[in-house]
Chain A
Amino acid sequence: MATASPEIVFPQARERFSVISLLHELVVTVDHKKLGLMYICSGLLFFVVAGLLATVMRLQLAVPNNDLVEPDTFNRLFTVHGTTMVFFFGMPFIAGLMNYLVPLMIGARDMAFPRLNAFGFWIFLFGGLLLYFSYLGAPGLSGHGTAPDVGWFAYAPLSDRAFSRGHSTDYWILSIFLGGIGSSASAINVIATVISMRCRGMTLMRMPLFVWLMLVTAGMILLALPPLTAAQVMLLLDRFLSARFFDTQAGGSAVLWQHFFWLFGHPEVYILIIPGFACVSEIVPVFSRKPIFGYPVMVAATVMIGFISMGVWAHHMFAVGMTSLSNTFFALSTMLVAVPTGIKIFNWLGTMYGGKIRFEMPMLCCIAFLFQFLCAGLTGVMLASVPFDWQLTDTYFVVAHFHYVLIGGLAFAIFGGIYYWYPKATGRMLSKRLGLWHFWLFLIGFHLTFDTMHIPGLLGMPRRIYTYGPGRGWEIYNLIETIGVFFQIAGTLCLVINLLWSLSKGAEAGPDPWDAWTLEWATSSPPPEYNFETLPAVRSRRPLWDLKHPEDPDWKYE
């Protein structure tokens, strides 16, 4: 970029700003911060699009016997919504956070493999665009189908050629396949960066928890994505070369697809939520003015979550008809995940306990996260018990549970992260007034929609139905859910306006607006392309505390 140092003025520095040069810069950049922001921005874009798809679904379900959309359209809506949210909002957003923050936090100048990083971003972006291109391209020559309509887990045999004509499922497979390559590339990059690029003195047990949690996430991506990739290759072979992997008439097994999918799918949930934990683990100590409570236990609990999450997948399949032994095993392993997760919640509370809490936007989001994630975890433990799950499989109770995890948990943690690191990335503070509007509108909307959603689920309302008849007692709840959506839209609008407005009008942030302790706050905001003028060296987990308090540094006690 232009002005690397004030003394030397490069000829390019006088070049006029133009859209073309900006686009050129975006296309050729291998800088981890630019790529990180590109990941985050495109992730947010997909978030808005998939949110609008959800709005159409909620409008359709607001009243009984509604005919706003056709049943086929409804199938496409929930498939594209789910696929987008998981693969093209969640994954890239996480990759963006990793990319932007991990090198800064460990005192490095870039990721280990900058070009691989750019490759990962572009292949993800085109994967995401391919999914939406299916609306136009999938009918192909045969003219069957448009967007994918087989649900985000694309159960066989529904996704096999006999039942899914045209190319919609092929687009689903290929877009996720590309996204998966991108995610694997950034996971490899993060692991190599964390292992090999830490600054002098940053031992593993001195890394910020954020970095530890991202390391575990990256490891999980490497182990959990291949089952999906492999299963998708098999499905492609089924669809194009008439292989018989999931064709029950030739002796194949449709259940095998479910095993492979959830062997990916459940760890995926943890891949999504652990980065949420990572944000919370950075924000809670800074805004409680205390070091994180139980750092080694937090690390151990994260590794345990990663480990156990690989052995719980079949709790998605209790209703399929497995043996009692499998049911018992997966019920117990699922309940076991609650132990390390509970440890984390207690440690965050322990950090807040006795702290001097500052109720700034990031902290508010984290407090909401704590309550909501706890509730989401509790319904998770309920669903882990097999008979309860038999009763409620594929009802709105399950939908409410996982939206509680992913919105009440992940989205709020991400909001916290946005408020916390936006000043670092842009040099400007986000407006707190707009932030409060966003927070409260979204919070109220979230609870209206998803607290209420549990009830029709318990009353037996199945998921994925495009409409329902009156007189079952579901009407009022569905109406409230739909009303909640508009609060969420209003809240999101406040966030988007805040993000854009503060870019030029926000208060100057300075290098360290939150009086924080990790290395990303030691450089200017936004950081220069080379991150640090001299590479830092650290002696404790809170290097900036040591800097600011030379009379009482952490390294005397660690």
Chain B
Amino acid sequence: MTTDLMINDPFASAVTEFAEWKLPSRRKVGVLSLIGTEATVFSIFVVAYVFYTGKSLTGPYPSDVLTVPIVATVCLLSSSLTIVLAERAFKRESAGGFRLWWGLTIILAIVFLAYTASEWYRLITVEHLTISTNLFGATYYSLVGLHASHVVVGLILLTLVLVLSVLGRVRPADAERLEMVSWYWHFVDAVWVVVFTVVYIIGR
């Protein structure tokens, strides 16, 4: 009943019962939980967007000012592919290949953000749509802005990894860490599929 009993381990039999005792990586579980709660945050903004679709009392309306961002979408979605290729190169221990694909992922993310920036610039200066103009403005900027801010966070993570890799600080043992960055990145891409569908297809 005391600690002595535990030290002498009368459970030696249990040790043999579970000779192979392997639990999921805590890093993976943690990141999946984070992604789960983040997805819920997004779903609330999506609900708000859908709920307020067509409820704006004054213009401009989505159909007047939004164009389907095909290039940006292609860039962001293909960055999910390039990051997978980067991971594969990393597992082959090909540093050059890894940096090439990882760098390409970063470039694709920057192109996506540049598109969002130019779209916002046009909407604000040409179309005079701000967050306080109408319900469309409020829901559009908050939903797309929330996604873009996640892209920015992802971009910072990606850049950090690239810098560390160039400095030679990324070791094969860090494979799981890189995998977590890539999971987050896939999540950001998957959210874009929903945002794209809701904002540019259904809501327009």
Contacts and interface: CB of A to CB of B under 8 A. Distances in A.
Contact of B57 (A187, A191, A197, A250): A250
A237 B33 contact: no
A522 interface: yes
29 contacts: A112-B29, A113-B30, A192-B30, A196-B25, A201-B11, A201-B18, A223-B40, A225-B37, A227-B40, A231-B44, A245-B135, A251-B55, A252-B52, A252-B138, A253-B52, A256-B51, A511-B3, A524-B3, A532-B6, A533-B7, A534-B9, A536-B6, A537-B11, A537-B15, A537-B18, A539-B11, A539-B13, A539-B14, A539-B17
Given A195-B23, A195-B26, A252-B52, A536 B37 contact: no
B160 to A, nearest CB: 18
A184 B37 contact: yes
Nearest to B40: A226
A547 B40 CA distance: 44
A523 interface: yes
B51 A511 contact: no
Nearest to A221: B37
B175 to A, nearest CB: 18
A229 B42 CA distance: 11
Interface residues of B, number: 47
Given A536-B6, A539-B14, A191 B33 contact: yes
B142 A243 contact: yes
Contacts of A198: 23
B29 A244 contact: no
B1 A544 contact: yes
Nearest to A544: B1
Interface in A235-286: 237, 241-245, 250-253, 256, 260, 263
B1 A511 contact: yes
Nearest to B141: A243
A252 B135 contact: yes
A281 to B, nearest CB: 22
B19 to A, nearest CB: 9
A201 B16 CA distance: 10
B167 to A, nearest CB: 24
Interface string B28-70: 0110011011101101110010011001110000000000000
B24 A533 contact: no
Nearest to B13: A539
A320 to B, nearest CB: 15
B21 A201 contact: yes
